[in-house]
Amino acid sequence: MMESIVTILAGLLLLVGSAFAAIAAFGILRLPDIYSRMHAASKAGAVGSGMALLALALMADSLPVALRAIAAIAFFLLTAPLSAHLLAKAAYAVGYKLWPGSVLDEMPEVAITTRRSDTPARGDSPAQQSS
Partner 1 sequence: MSEFASEFLDICLSLSLAMLGLAFFFTIARIIRGPTLPDRVLGLDMLTSVAIGFIAVIGIDTGRTLYVDIAIALGLVGFLATVAFARFILARGKTADDDERQGLPIMDDDPHRDTGSGNPAADTGEAAR
Q: Which of residues 10-29 bind partner 1 (CB under 8 A)?
A: 10-12, 14-15, 17-19, 21-22, 24-26, 28-29
C-beta of 119 vs 126, nearer to partner 1: 119
Q: Are 20 and 40 in contact (CB under 8 A)?
A: no
**Position 43 contacts partner 1 (CB under 8 A):** no
**Position 112 contacts partner 1 (CB under 8 A):** yes
Q: Which residues contact 41 (CB under 8 A, 6 or more apart)?
A: 24, 25, 27, 28, 84
Which one of 63, 116, 117, 118 is in contact with partner 1 (CB under 8 A)? 118
**DSSP-derived 3-state class of residue 32:** coil
